Structure 1
């Protein structure tokens, strides 16, 4: 833990692309559409064989399922498709830069990726095709983009209280529902924590002996900033094995989404030491005085809960609506917390709760307001703050939920610039 920042001064610094080079890049867009995933799959295979330490950075499950190659292929394609004007992809660049900073990507690693990406392009497209001017154009394009990331990530590192990994102790482990458990982490060195922006996330790193390398995951901070601790609230996924009866880790499901989260549930206990990164993330509460509407489904509530707690504890008393979709009371995390908050602050906080599968004992009008999935059309305009053209909307949950909610809000006249969506990955905002 410290502030060691690699500036990348010894890396190639090519000039901007020429008009002819941009034409060459644009001409490869159809080829990337057809062969992009093949190229990036080969790139990752070769790179991780040559540099096994890079496995400490990349998600094992995303590699196993092909999500990492697909994400990189999409990014390369988008870069080529917008080579004449990068403005449309800058929000994605910002999102990726924050993710890179959260796992402490350093400039020298861009050289490794560049070598293997260009090598994979040459093999897949053929050395007779990918050579000369085309190769030079792509090499220049790669380093132009790499330096956009390097420069932005350096800014993020310079603004952070520390870079790399810092040791924390699990102070508390609290069950919030049948699926979600909160972990409270206090810094092992007892030094106070800097405030973060409500909505941001931290990375947690753990060594997995059975895999032979570290794995990291990002979890939204689920509470308002505290100088004493961080809190994350993690969902456990059913049917994913993490520990054998012998006590050894079971890595058979390590390629399954949620394996790392289940591992935290099963093996991370109060008093344990973990390594965390500084908070990052471009999805956070704005600083205006405009009303805020928070719409969540499932564990997507976590970054929005940080926003809610921050708003209610602040002196501004900014109006806020909490609109949440859950299956039933058994998995309704922070139910009493949000309810108590709304009752204590009736002029500031409005709520609307949807249950899709109520269980025995769940009472409409008491435990929840609406039956079914979250439907914006059922929510009162005053709760949605639709009559205030400055209201800001924050949406988090499964991709299908976010896309449907985004579309519904736009149908009600909410401009897309006022809708902010948290995407757990490197994709674009739903539209």
Structure 2
């Protein structure tokens, strides 16, 4: 994919660029938002920017893409690109924004690396950038076409028909299209973006998994209120919990996300933690409706049973499957039949050919993935979803 000349230059400069990529991406965002403040106000997650999470995710994806081009020149990292493209599509990103990103990214690169960025080096990394950008543009435009929307025009008004308090910090919002038109289809495990106008006028966007059956006319999202601990509380989750009631409207995107069931006949393992259970419930409802013929192992970890959102639904949906096994782990207050402590696959049989789906905090998913690989599950058969920036590569 890379020209021979650029490949040699990128290989020679990757250690220096990789070492400085965190500083480069930090300066990039400073320059981008100084020139285009509306992007921070209405597109990028301000909480992730303040915490430095988006910077880490961008740095990790650039480094991973460049490394892949060098180590596997005849292929491209489609799993990583697909995950990014789905997130971009849910935000309404368009091809016109990529030259803007390129301008400020390369300005930051030149400023951080100084004279090391010769014309030859800039040309080689420009090739890397456009290989990645054009691949994302192609995938994103295909995703828009699948929903029959113009590129970036993914938003519709939805009416809140009901609200259910699941736990002290989780609420489910039941939604129908405000215009009465049919709800767009979705695949079990996908999410939508919700754009919320906050008191300062910013229109911040967050992603929430869809629950319920894809065939239903209604949709539901379960929102966990984010408590910041040492930092600020979640802007959007806090606003939704405090202000949104039945009769209100929300601006919601078309459904996207690549954590979807790939093989309807394989044995499945669905492992989640915290609010990561939400895509799993959609998968379980679909499996129950379609009569999944193979074993399904349902695992979940949480702080306490009271913190486990949709706990009764989680267990009940699994029990609709004839060959399902269910086990929940809690850090404390575990009830009879449940386990105390962290999720441990030591006593859990994993059938040959199992496809595994993980959703939860990154340390949880890394630990479960390692246990699955130890049990013989190929890495290619382990799929995951991260709420927020994908830091898997950045922390590898």
Superposition TM-score, scaled by structure 1 size:
0.84
Aligned 8 A contact 1:192 1:227 in 2 = no
Partners of 1:78 and 1:349 lie apart in 2 by 37
Match of 1:249 in 2: none
Aligned 8 A contact 2:196 2:236 in 1 = no
Picking from 67, 78, 95, the partner of 1:90 is 78
Q: Does 1:20 align with 2:9?
A: no
Match of 2:365 in 1: 402
Q: What secondary structure is seen at the aligned counterpart in 1 of 2:185?
A: coil
Match of 2:32 in 1: 47
- For residues 185-200 of structure 1, the aligned pairs below 5 Å read 185-200=175-190
Name the count of aligned residue pairs: 388
Match of 2:299 in 1: 323
- For residues 18-417 of structure 1, the aligned pairs below 5 Å read 18-55=3-40, 56-84=42-70, 85=72, 87=75, 89-126=77-114, 128-162=115-149, 163-210=153-200, 212-238=201-227, 256=232, 258-343=234-319, 345=320, 347-358=322-333, 363-365=335-337, 369-379=338-348, 381=349, 386=350, 388-417=351-380
Aligned 8 A contact 1:98 1:153 in 2 = yes
Match of 1:426 in 2: 390
Aligned 8 A contact 2:56 2:391 in 1 = no
Judge which range, 395-404 or 421-430, deviates more. Answer: 421-430
Evaluate the alpha carbon distance shift between residue 91 and residue 427 of structure 1 in structure 2; reply closer, same or farther with a 3 A threshold. Answer: farther
Stretches of 4+ aligned residues off by more than 6 angstroms:
none
C-alpha RMSD over aligned residues: 2.2
Match of 1:248 in 2: none
Q: What secondary structure is seen at the aligned counterpart in 2 of 1:40?
A: helix
Evaluate the alpha carbon distance shift between residue 347 and residue 82 of structure 1 in structure 2; reply closer, same or farther with a 3 A threshold. Answer: closer
Partners of 1:21 and 1:71 lie apart in 2 by 24
Partners of 2:135 and 2:280 lie apart in 1 by 30
Evaluate the alpha carbon distance shift between residue 223 and residue 125 of structure 1 in structure 2; reply closer, same or farther with a 3 A threshold. Answer: same
- Aligned-residue offset at 1:160: 1.2
Aligned 8 A contact 1:308 1:320 in 2 = no
Judge which range, 398-407 or 325-334, deviates more. Answer: 325-334
Partners of 2:173 and 2:97 lie apart in 1 by 32
Evaluate the alpha carbon distance shift between residue 411 and residue 57 of structure 1 in structure 2; reply closer, same or farther with a 3 A threshold. Answer: same
Aligned 8 A contact 2:92 2:154 in 1 = yes
Partners of 2:380 and 2:126 lie apart in 1 by 35
Partners of 1:397 and 1:267 lie apart in 2 by 26
Judge which range, 109-118 or 83-92, deviates more. Answer: 83-92
Partners of 2:127 and 2:312 lie apart in 1 by 56
